[in-house]
Structures are given as C-alpha cells and as structure tokens.
Amino acid sequence: MKIYNFNAGPSVLPETVIKKSAQAVIDYHQHGLSLLEISHRSKDFLEILEKTTNLVKRLMNLNDGYAVLFLQGGATLQFTMVPYNLMKKEAAYLDTGIWANKAIQEARKFGKVRIIFSGIEKNYSYISKNYHIPDHVDYFHCTSNNTIVGTQMKNFPISSIPMICDMSSDIFSRKLDFCQFGLIYASAQKNISSAGMTIVIVRKEILGKIKKEIPSYLDYKIHIKNKSILNTPNIFSIYTSMLTLEWIEKKGGISILEKENQQKAKLLYEEIDRNNLFENKIHKEDRSNMNVTFFLKKKHLESKFNETWEKENIVGLDGHRSLGGYRASIYNALPLESVQFLISIMKEFEKKFS
Ligand code: PMP
C-alpha cells in the first residue's frame, strides 16, 4: 500500500536504506551474525564508522581541521554540551523557534546568554537579518531550520566568533560552506539515519579553551580521542547513516538534493498561496524548504480536511501540537510525487468546499 509520509521526524527514509538495514539486521554481510550482534570494536563496525565519517567529510567538503563524531542524547544533549565545552562567560543566541529557545534555556545554566534576536513576539514567523554579534562573546548559536514553525535561515553571518549551528532538520539538504561553522550538530532522524544518534562536526581548534573539568561523556575532546567509541555507540543508527549518505552520494551529492528540495517546496508554497482555503503565516523569504506549515482559513473545515487526507493514505500532516494547523515535512527522501499528490488533494478539497 502506498503511503505518503509527511512526518516531521522520525520521517521518511530512502527505500534502499530500509531494505539494506533490514537485511543487515537479519544477517550482516552473510557472516551469520545480525548487525545488532557485532561488537563495536569489531573490524566490521570500525569499517562502517570510517566509511560514514569519510562520507560526511566528502559530502560536506570539510577540511582536516574538522572532527566528525557520532554521539547519543539527541540534539537535546548538544544544548548542554555546547555551552559546557565552549562557554567561558557569555554567548550570543538567536531565538528563532521552540528548539532554539530550549537551547537558550540550557545555555543559561552555564553563563550569560545574550539573545541578539528573538522572533517570539511574532510567533517566530520571521528571522531577522539585522542582528549584531558582539565581539566579546565566546560563540554564536543559531538554528538553521526551525522544524516546528517552518522557517529556515537562508544566510549566515560573517563573523570571527565561532558559529555553532543546530542543523537537525536540514543537514544534507542544501549546499553551504560548512567550514564557516565552528560546530554543527544534527540529531537523527530526519535527513539521516534512524533515531538515537547525533552527528557533531567540530573545528578542533575551538575546543580546549575553558578551564573547568568536563564530565567525560560531555567532553568533545574525549570523544575525538576515542573516535566516537568512548562507550558503546548506536551501531544500527551509524550504519543507517552510512546507507543514507551513500544514497545521497549516489544521487550526485547535496546540490542535486537541494534542487529537488527547492522544487518540492516551491510547488507546495505556490499551491498554498493560490488555494482559497489555505494560508502560510511565514515571511516569504524565510520559508523553510523542509517543513511547510499551513492553516485552513476556515477552522470549521478542519475535520473535513483531516478526513480527506487520512483517507488517501497521507500520514503525518498534523501541525506540531503547540501550533495546530498542518505541517508537510518534505525532507530529502520524500519523493516529488508525494508533494504532487498532496497538492492534488488540496485542489480537490478547494473545489468541494470553497
Ligand atoms: N533541534 C531541532 C531543530 C529539532 O527539530 C529537534 C527535534 N526534532 C531537536 C533540536 C531535538 O532533537 P532530539 O529530540 O533529538 O533531542
């Protein structure tokens, strides 16, 4: 049965990743053992780890100054690890959404947080381009894609202050100069892997500047030294990352995905803007190419619209519980066909109820 999966995360993955990982769970490389049964110190897993690291470096064009880590604890643990490792006194944060705000709340436990832009008063419906990063802060933190409200940073500031970015919901979706960031973190699962793994990409020279002792699991330097196997890693998630990154490379890399993502987003926003029954509340230049949020102009039609898409095997279209409305998450692995199908449903609904 064909399912159109618009889940915000965990979300749709390439079919080949599902099939190959299922096979690996049954019998990894015909060795007679499941992937779930191999040691994290085994040759098999060390090969997976090396391949995955090299794929990240290649796809992102990272130079040798960067380390790639595969950790646990989600982006949520990164909200703590970033200030633990990098904050001496003060850091600058952009408050562009609910996740960015959670990062701010954690950072406050380590020092002074200077919020240099907050969109909270305007329901996070836009991202300012006119903020200033003070010269004296230890780092600047931003969220490249705001998964819940559906905004995306299209430009990043030029500054000598290390830029730390939560890319959980748009990593590998568009070409960027990734070496402009001091540290990038992205938790699975959206564009990579299965849940339970977080990629951290860090420019090594920004580490080691704070004096206080850091608990081992929270210390990036210790993870770098131990090559992501300080403790038992999430073998399955790292393997599915490898498969997802291989799929990206086979397709031709991030720039191909970027084009596809732009096309899907453009079609869907055009329909929302055209259709009499729907609206999007985000400033046009800040609209996300990953999470497209929209609302019915007439709230009483909600149950009818829900009935319509649910009947058509569309899943995951509900907006975040804090916002309501609808959210179509159109990550890398979502086929264009799914967007076209959703658009056809929206058009039919308009014909019936406009
Ligand atoms: N940051 C962003 C941008 C997110 O979308 C999410 C969750 N999907 C998180 C942080 C939190 O991630 P996790 O649940 O892995 O801690």
pLDDT for the residue 37: 97
Average pLDDT over residues 33-41: 97
354 pLDDT band, cuts 50/70/90, is confident
CA distance 12 to 142: 25
Task: Compute, in angstroms, the gap from residue 180 CA to the centroid of ligand 1.
Answer: 22
pLDDT for the residue 278: 98
CA distance 341 to 347: 10
The residue whose CB lies within 8 Å of the most ligand 1 atoms, and thus the one to mutate among 147, 148, 152, is: 147
The residue whose CB lies within 8 Å of the most ligand 1 atoms, and thus the one to mutate among 187, 291, 327, is: 187
Average pLDDT over residues 232-237: 97
Length of the chain as a residue count: 354
Q: Is the pLDDT of residue 38 over 90?
A: yes
Q: Is the CB of 308 under 6 A from ligand 1?
A: no
pTM of the model: 0.98
Q: Does residue 190 carry a catalytic annotation?
A: yes
Q: Is the pLDDT of residue 10 over 90?
A: yes
CA distance 69 to 79: 16
CA distance 140 to 162: 6
pLDDT, tens digit, for every residue of 172-198? Answer: 999 999 999 999 999 999 999 899 999
Long-range contacts, 343-346 (Cβ 8 Å, 24+): 343/267, 343/268, 343/271, 345/308, 345/309, 345/312, 345/314, 346/271, 346/272, 346/275, 346/277, 346/278
CA distance 149 to 99: 10
Domain 253-353, what architecture?
A: Alpha-Beta Complex (3.90)
Nearest atom within ligand 1 for CA of residue 145: 3
Checking phi first, is residue 132 left (phi over 0); if not, alpha (psi -120 to 50) or beta? beta
**Ligand 1 atom 11 nearest Cα:** 75
Pair of tokens at residue 321: 């519980």
Task: Compute, in angstroms, the gap from residue 57 CA to the centroid of ligand 1.
Answer: 22
- Smallest Cα–Cα separation from 153: which of 173, 138, 137, 135? 173
CA distance 87 to 232: 28
Domain with CATH 3.40.640.10 in the chain: 15-251
Query: How many of the other CB atoms lie within 10 Å of CB of 274?
Result: 12
Q: Is the CB of 143 under 6 A from ligand 1?
A: yes
Task: Compute, in angstroms, the gap from residue 199 CA to the centroid of ligand 1.
Answer: 12
164 pLDDT band, cuts 50/70/90, is very high
pLDDT for the residue 193: 87
Instruction: Round the average pLDDT of the chain to a whole number and report it.
Output: 97
Task: Compute, in angstroms, the gap from residue 290 CA to the centroid of ligand 1.
Answer: 14
Q: Is the CB of 106 under 6 A from ligand 1?
A: no
Q: Which of 95, 99, 138, 219 is catalytic?
A: 99
Nearest atom within ligand 1 for CA of residue 190: 8
Q: How far is CA 16 from CA 92, 244, 268, 338, in A?
A: 41, 9, 26, 17
- Smallest Cα–Cα separation from 336: which of 280, 259, 246, 252? 259
- Smallest Cα–Cα separation from 261: which of 285, 292, 282? 292
Q: Which of 190, 219, 264, 309 is catalytic?
A: 190
Identify the residue whose tokens are 């939560």: 166
Domain with CATH 3.90.1150.10 in the chain: 253-353
Average pLDDT over residues 324-345: 98
pLDDT for the residue 1: 80
Average pLDDT over residues 38-64: 97
Task: Compute, in angstroms, the gap from residue 164 CA to the centroid of ligand 1.
Answer: 15
Nearest atom within ligand 1 for CA of residue 9: 8
pLDDT for the residue 31: 86
Q: Answer yes or no: are the C-beta atoms of 242 and 51 closer than 8 Å.
A: yes
pLDDT for the residue 2: 86
Instruction: Compute the Cα dihedral for 58, 62, 66, 69 and give only its sign.
Output: negative
pLDDT, tens digit, for every residue of 250-305? Answer: 999 999 999 999 999 999 999 999 999 999 999 999 999 999 999 999 999 999 99
169 pLDDT band, cuts 50/70/90, is very high
The residue whose CB lies within 8 Å of the most ligand 1 atoms, and thus the one to mutate among 142, 169, 293, 327, is: 169
Q: Is the pLDDT of residue 241 over 90?
A: yes
Nearest atom within ligand 1 for CA of residue 75: 16
Q: Does residue 99 carry a catalytic annotation?
A: yes
Pair of tokens at residue 66: 């960067």
Q: Is the pLDDT of residue 200 over 90?
A: yes
CATH domain 15-251 topology: Aspartate Aminotransferase; domain 2 (3.40.640)
- Smallest Cα–Cα separation from 191: which of 4, 9, 2, 320? 9
Q: How far is CA 294 from CA 42, 85, 144, 344, in A?
A: 48, 38, 20, 16
Average pLDDT over residues 37-52: 97
Q: Is the CB of 170 under 6 A from ligand 1?
A: no
CA distance 199 to 193: 10
Task: Compute, in angstroms, the gap from residue 79 CA to the centroid of ligand 1.
Answer: 10
CA distance 318 to 306: 9
Q: Is the CB of 193 under 6 A from ligand 1?
A: no
Task: Compute, in angstroms, the gap from residue 321 CA to the centroid of ligand 1.
Answer: 15
Q: Answer yes or no: are the C-beta atoms of 48 and 244 closer than 8 Å.
A: no
